[in-house]
Structure 1
């Protein structure tokens, strides 16, 4: 087998591979002979069909199958021989593909970049800590009551906590901008789902009122077009509702599966769930800060375009799922979202993925099986039959692979923290469960 490699850019490679004709011909002959043993062709008994007849009937398809397999096989032989690491599957272009002649094809692909890991002693991370207080439980219970509230239409000026149904049109540079227009859009005032200043701007409006609201988007906003942009929203209030909260009684507690014990048992259950969520949030926040530091130290790494494209695709899917709602009632096509909206975040995630992988490889890290089992047991603890959930995870290769990847990331975080400059940061519950802005994650 002959191999030549051409660098068409800093990361792209064009590899020309020539495969000796006998590697194809020998395998085709072998499969024709095997097929002849079982082929059913009119005029011949099974096992007595001449190979040349089988070749006439099946030869083209068998050769196509063999060529496809040999292309994959020879490509990976070639990259191993040339000591290059593809960042993605290759684009294959056949050049010579004729029976009896050497097979030749061109594989075009990107390679992983060569880079040196920064000194991890430069990493500076503050590790947050928090506890659940009685006042936090009260806030959580109020939130649960609000989730089961009856919303009653009211005729008064809008206030914090109301649900407003509005029409709005976003104007930038005297033109409407994409994604800035909606009709009869429900929004909770104070819910924090809109850009800062938008919800507060509705306060004081009455049904039928219209106003123009000046808004400045943050510099870290997802859309490149709107980062730091000053715009105006023309808003009309169509409907206003306030919540009527349910009482804390047995009927309300039963909504959460509690049939006995009253408010004391209910508060205990809420505390347990909040402590679990707090633990996960603190771990996630610490992990995010470590990943952000790794990105900051390696932000000049050149990233393969295919890696960025993969990250963009994943981010689009995540956004589409959010837009579809929990029940998927609003089916949303992720292809409608512009790539530009996710490019910066995708590049950051791709860089972090490369750095994490380099840390794993250079330190010969393997996933800790004990930690994997602990992680699965934690997941299973929330189910009625935890042993069945544990078995399901171990019997599902893709699911187990996902858990192992998550545990390996946690091991990387522990490794980085062991060398980093670490400080403690005491925060309240709400601060702890609120993700840091611009937090970078690594999910590959």
Structure 2
């Protein structure tokens, strides 16, 4: 077997591999020898069929397998000897497409090698960590929110206002004909909740108990029921009761509604939850600062194929965000801009850097961590959890999508352990401002 280099330009590599006819024949003979003890053929005892007859009968069929194994073996040997790791799937083509039995097999192998990632000293990284304590004011604010969510409604005199609840009977019609699903009795509607189609709730502002009113609306053009989409309708509404919202009392009874023993226990849970939220937000800010420093400190050649693929993905994703009505991929070709390519270069550089750091330090995602990630995703599909688990098991790309962020966070945590981190006491407002600045930077980059 011969391997001759035909291109070595930057990260681009090409090789011409020759597998001799003699090597192929030897591979076929090896396969036949392995199979011979179990072969039965008329006129011969099991395992006693002559090799010449086996080769005549099965040799041609095994030649394809031998060719594939020989080429795969040559590629494996090549990567072991050179230490190259392809950035993407190598391109393998038969050089002598008119190959015939008895001839050598010639293959052209092309790929982009992953670059050598330079070392950096994580101890030189200096970061600031915002530390925010969940104070009494934050806990009280959260309690008020819970009380509002647990609000009840009491009957009131006078006209309905936004935020009030009106109990109504209604019947809808189009061109004088009532339509299915357009009627209800004793329906509790909170004005301003946007529960009904646009314009409906606004026309009930100011109604009083006992009042009858025709509400004229138009169904949206994209309405979920095609037979109603874009049509004008009239709803005959009878207002049976008007109720004003009443926030729940912040006491032990409220705490029990949310699964706590008493108010003090609920406050403790809120304080713990807020602390976790502040900690996660602070980590996100610190992680972004870390990635910014790494992007400035470490520079190396990037595989063009990875950058192009990432730029295309960014451009495609942003195009769909700007055109949410287009669900499929039947749209014009989307060309990445210079900004897309710049962002792609940053992502590829940081991705390769973190991947190499994780590889050298044997950082891995455990089975337990993967199982937890799959369970978290499966909760988004109630009743279909088993199907989702099976889908993930059968889909390597999906497993990679779930594994990648876990791996990245573990590598980032590894760097945090070595970096020089200074803690800084901050207010909730300081942290919020830092998070908003982070979001603004990401939006600008996109």
In structure 2, the CA distance between the partners of 1:248 and 1:338, relative to structure 1 (3 Å rule), is farther
CA distance in 2: counterparts of 1:72 and 1:142, whole angstroms: 66
Q: Secondary structure at the match of 2:6?
A: strand
- State the Cα deviation string for residues 67-104 of structure 1 (Å, max 9, x = none): 22322221131233334343223100112454333332
Matched, 1:367 2:363: yes
1:17, 1:78 within 8 Å by CA — same for their partners in 2? no
In structure 2, the CA distance between the partners of 1:320 and 1:296, relative to structure 1 (3 Å rule), is same
In structure 2, the CA distance between the partners of 1:378 and 1:42, relative to structure 1 (3 Å rule), is closer
RMSD over equivalenced CA pairs, Å = 5.4
Equivalent residue, structure 2, for 1:340: 336
CA distance in 2: counterparts of 1:6 and 1:308, whole angstroms: 24
Equivalent residue, structure 2, for 1:261: 261
Equivalent residue, structure 1, for 2:348: 350
CA distance in 1: counterparts of 2:284 and 2:297, whole angstroms: 20
CA distance in 1: counterparts of 2:64 and 2:110, whole angstroms: 21
In structure 2, the CA distance between the partners of 1:278 and 1:340, relative to structure 1 (3 Å rule), is same
Equivalent residue, structure 2, for 1:407: 410
CA distance in 2: counterparts of 1:133 and 1:6, whole angstroms: 67
Matched, 1:104 2:106: yes
In structure 2, the CA distance between the partners of 1:103 and 1:307, relative to structure 1 (3 Å rule), is same
Matched, 1:277 2:271: no
CA distance in 1: counterparts of 2:22 and 2:139, whole angstroms: 74
The TM-score normalised by the length of structure 2 is 0.55
Deviation (angstroms), 1:109: 0.5
CA distance in 1: counterparts of 2:246 and 2:55, whole angstroms: 77
In structure 2, the CA distance between the partners of 1:357 and 1:376, relative to structure 1 (3 Å rule), is closer
Equivalent residue, structure 1, for 2:217: none
In structure 2, the CA distance between the partners of 1:302 and 1:340, relative to structure 1 (3 Å rule), is same
Deviation (angstroms), 1:411: 0.7
In structure 2, the CA distance between the partners of 1:83 and 1:261, relative to structure 1 (3 Å rule), is closer
2:128, 2:422 within 8 Å by CA — same for their partners in 1? yes
CA distance in 1: counterparts of 2:255 and 2:24, whole angstroms: 67
1:91, 1:107 within 8 Å by CA — same for their partners in 2? yes
Equivalent residue, structure 2, for 1:286: 286
Residue pairs, 1:193-204, within 5 angstroms: none
2:316, 2:334 within 8 Å by CA — same for their partners in 1? no
- State the Cα deviation string for residues 310-329 of structure 1 (Å, max 9, x = none): 5457768987999999xxxx
2:6, 2:14 within 8 Å by CA — same for their partners in 1? yes
Residue pairs, 1:307-322, within 5 angstroms: 307-309=306-308, 311=310
Equivalent residue, structure 1, for 2:91: 91
In structure 2, the CA distance between the partners of 1:115 and 1:269, relative to structure 1 (3 Å rule), is closer
Equivalent residue, structure 1, for 2:304: 305
Deviation (angstroms), 1:304: 0.7
Q: What is the total number of aligned residue pairs between the two structures?
A: 332
Deviation (angstroms), 1:124: 4.8
Equivalent residue, structure 1, for 2:202: 154
Deviation (angstroms), 1:367: 2.9
CA distance in 1: counterparts of 2:321 and 2:84, whole angstroms: 39
Q: Secondary structure at the match of 2:88?
A: coil
Q: Secondary structure at the match of 2:95?
A: strand
Deviation (angstroms), 1:272: 2.7
Greater C-alpha radius of gyration: 2
Which residue of 122, 125, 128 maps to 2:127?
A: 125
Q: Which 5+ residue runs of structure 1 have no aligned equivalent?
A: 158-181, 186-243, 383-391
CA distance in 1: counterparts of 2:272 and 2:8, whole angstroms: 58
1:25, 1:99 within 8 Å by CA — same for their partners in 2? no
- State the Cα deviation string for residues 215-262 of structure 1 (Å, max 9, x = none): xxxxxxxxxxxxxxxxxxxxxxxxxxxxx9884479xx9999844536
Q: Secondary structure at the match of 1:101?
A: coil
- State the Cα deviation string for residues 344-379 of structure 1 (Å, max 9, x = none): 333211101223345457xx523399xx79989998
Larger displacement relative to structure 2 (347-356 or 3-12): 3-12
Deviation (angstroms), 1:287: 1.9
Equivalent residue, structure 1, for 2:438: 436
Residue pairs, 1:391-406, within 5 angstroms: 403=406, 406=409
Residue pairs, 1:22-37, within 5 angstroms: 22-37=22-37
In structure 2, the CA distance between the partners of 1:146 and 1:18, relative to structure 1 (3 Å rule), is farther
Deviation (angstroms), 1:28: 1.9
In structure 2, the CA distance between the partners of 1:249 and 1:310, relative to structure 1 (3 Å rule), is farther
